[in-house]
Structures are given as structure tokens and as C-alpha cells.
């Protein structure tokens, strides 16, 4: 019997090929809704995004794709110290010292 590994169409199960641009690299995409989160895994599918044209599609889980790159985390910004009595807050309707110039 012939195995799928030797057949010309076996790349369909193992390699990503974008239908939009023909690119061969894709990143795993986050699930967007109930269908993608719970039903795609039951169908052995995963959502991916093309690295070149950013087209989003579904492929078999046997297709090798890259993990999503994690954006670098920004260090937390320090809060400026508040030295006023009111704690830097101005009460609504507090217009002391302001006059309407006509």
C-alpha cells in the first residue's frame, strides 16, 4: 500500500501555503470566538495568520506554524508624586479664582 508520506499531496498536511500570496510562513492566531476556541480543536484545525500578507485562515493542526511573537513588555511607569492638599483632584464645579472675561 502507498503511504501518504510519499505522495505528492502530502505537503498539504504538513506545510503551510497562503492562498492569498503563496507565502510559506504563518503564525498561530488567537481564537476570536466560541467556534474557534472550542469547535476548531474538535475538527483538528487551528487558526493561523500569514506572515507576509496577514491573511487569517484555518489549517490542520498537523501543519507546522510558528508561535506568535510576544511583544516586549514595557516597564511599569512610576506614578508622579502628588504634593497638593487635594491629592491632585479638582472637585466638579470648583471654579475659585476663575472669572469669565467678556
Which triple of cell numbers denotes residue 97? 479664582
Closest residue by Cα to residue 47 from 55, 39, 38, 36: 36
Residue 73 domain flag: no
**pLDDT at residue number 5:** 47
Which triple of cell numbers denotes residue 6? 510519499
pLDDT tens digits, 57-95: 888 988 888 887 777 778 777 766 555 555 555 555 555
**pLDDT confidence band for 34 (50 / 70 / 90):** very high
Count CB atoms within 10 A of the CB of residue 40. 16
Residue 88 domain flag: no
Residue 90 domain flag: no
- The total number of structural domains that make up the chain: 1
In this prediction the pTM is 0.54
Range of the domain at 44: 11-60
Amino acid at each position: 500500500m502507498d503511504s501518504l508520506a510519499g505522495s505528492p499531496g502530502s505537503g498539504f498536511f504538513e506545510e503551510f501555503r497562503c492562498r492569498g500570496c503563496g507565502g510559506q510562513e504563518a503564525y498561530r492566531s488567537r481564537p476570536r470566538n466560541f467556534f474557534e476556541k472550542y469547535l476548531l480543536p474538535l475538527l483538528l484545525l487551528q487558526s493561523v495568520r500569514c506572515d507576509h500578507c496577514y491573511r487569517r485562515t484555518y489549517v490542520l493542526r498537523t501543519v507546522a506554524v510558528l508561535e506568535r511573537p510576544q511583544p516586549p513588555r514595557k516597564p511599569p511607569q512610576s506614578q508622579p508624586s502628588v504634593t497638593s492638599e487635594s491629592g491632585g483632584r479638582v472637585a466638579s464645579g470648583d471654579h475659585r479664582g476663575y472669572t469669565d472675561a467678556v
